[in-house]
Amino acid sequence: MAKVSRGSLFHGCSGKMGNLVFRTRGNVTTVSKWQGSKKTKPSVRQEKVQGNFGRAAKYAKEAIRDAALVALYTPKAVDGKSVYNVAFADAFHSPVVEAIDATGYRGEVGGTILIKATDDFKVARVSISVFSGEDGLIETGDAVVREDGIWMFTAMERNRDWEDCRVLVMAWDLPGNVGGMEVRL
């Protein structure tokens, strides 16, 4: 995609002219070749992306009408990005649980599990479920975020079989996307 310079006749234009498509966002005008209409049926993966795209667009439209969300997204709306763009990207990408550190958990009340969860904007919530070796739920609860951005869960129940348990961590972002990871101790 080529950028149109400010002094150009086409600066600030938007729309289609011949085989060219002009788009203007902020003070930047870009021009690209028109792709034409597609005659092939989308693949399953493409349909999934299209569904996610529609869901993200719907969320972004709702977000720009919500003063609290506008206040959150506005600081990231820089370099030609709008609040809509930032909200759209947030809704399009799910959070990722990158690491679970259970070295501080030995089945005792007060034991801790540390979680590194990231998102392109903000991780809003992290929950943990601890299951026994036979998949019986021992406890579940929310982690709290520390100043360094690491989430910490503090055990409230005793777990005698902690060496054979599994820990399921789920992370949510503001639009409600969820990502997770499971480890066996």
Per-residue CA distances from 28 to 5, 57, 133 (Å):
8, 22, 58
pLDDT, position 2: 53
Residue 153 pairs with which residues in a beta bridge?
Answer: 113
Tens digits of residue pLDDT in 89-113: 999 999 999 999 999 999 899 999 9
- List domains and CATH numbers for the chain: 2-33 (no CATH), 44-92 (no CATH), 96-184 (2.60.40.10)
Place of tokens 């054979």: 164
pLDDT, position 83: 94
Tens digits of residue pLDDT in 66-93: 999 999 999 998 888 899 999 999 999 9
Tens digits of residue pLDDT in 123-171: 999 999 999 888 789 999 999 999 999 999 999 999 888 888 999 999 9
- Residue 66: how many CB atoms within 10 A of its CB? 12
Of 113, 144, 110, give the one whose Cα is nearest residue 130: 113
